[in-house]
């Protein structure tokens, strides 16, 4: 799992670095930056414990379903970077699911991507209170572009970072 996580982080950083001039052109209000990597875990509690207790990262927040069971946890790797963990299921097997980029203005970014003929969803408010859209790249890799308003859970975690 460590090798896969390192590979994905390297891929994301390389992609962002190689596309930095294009990203700046697409997001007129500021640059796009890596915000999170999403995974699904075969054993949710064991995975959260691994990243918090063994690796020493902070649990920023956890969302729970109506049944009280955790449905999503954000582990804070650095001030602005998270690991998003969700329980695996029959429809969502354990592994990497997506990565997320943060934009200063998601609506501007969506508009500019549509001008580049990118198929992109309309932004919506997510369970974490971020303004979010999804994109599938030419390789079938799903990624999100999110704007973090002051009321969003990730923004609150960023602001409380010490």
Q: Do 51 and 58 form a contact (C-beta atoms < 8 A)?
A: no
Q: Give, in order, the Cα–Cα distances in Å from 58 to each of 47, 61, 69, 77, 84.
A: 13, 9, 20, 7, 12
The string of DSSP letters for 9-56 reads: HHHHHHHHHHTHHHHHHH-TTS--EEEEEEEEESSHHHHHHIIIIIS-
pTM of the model: 0.81
- The residues facing 142 across adjacent strands are 136
pLDDT digits (tens, 9 = 90+) for 112-156: 999 999 999 999 999 999 999 999 999 999 999 999 999 999 999
Q: Do 57 and 76 form a contact (C-beta atoms < 8 A)?
A: yes
Q: Do 153 and 128 form a contact (C-beta atoms < 8 A)?
A: yes
Query: How many independent structural domains does the chain possess?
Result: 1
| pLDDT at position 25 | 54
Query: And the tokens for 109?
Result: 């970014």
The whole-angstrom separation of Cα 40 and Cα 157 is: 21
pLDDT digits (tens, 9 = 90+) for 17-74: 444 445 445 544 458 999 999 999 999 999 999 999 999 999 999 999 999 999 999 9
CATH number (domain holding residue 91) = 3.10.180.10
Higher pLDDT, 7 or 120: 120
The string of DSSP letters for 75-94 reads: EEEETTEEEEEEE--SSS-S
pLDDT digits (tens, 9 = 90+) for 84-109: 999 999 999 999 999 999 999 999 99
Q: Which domain holds residue 142?
A: 2-159
């Amino acid at each position: 799992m460590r090798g896969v996580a390192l590979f994905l982080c390297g891929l994301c950083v390389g992609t962002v670095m190689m596309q930095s001039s294009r990203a700046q052109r697409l997001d007129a209000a500021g640059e796009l930056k890596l915000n999170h990597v999403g995974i699904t875990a075969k054993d949710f509690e064991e995975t959260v414990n691994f990243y918090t207790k063994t690796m020493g990262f902070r649990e920023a927040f956890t969302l729970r379903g109506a049944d009280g069971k955790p449905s999503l946890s954000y582990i804070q790797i650095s001030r602005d970077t998270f690991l998003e963990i969700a329980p695996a299921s029959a429809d969502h097997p354990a592994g990497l699911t997506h990565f997320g980029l943060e934009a200063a203005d998601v609506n501007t970014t969506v508009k500019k991507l549509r001008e580049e003929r990118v198929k992109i969803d309309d932004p919506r408010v997510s369970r974490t209170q971020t303004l979010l859209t999804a994109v599938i790249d030419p390789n079938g890799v799903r990624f999100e572009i999110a704007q973090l308003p002051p009321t969003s859970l990730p923004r609150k975690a960023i602001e409380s970072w010490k």
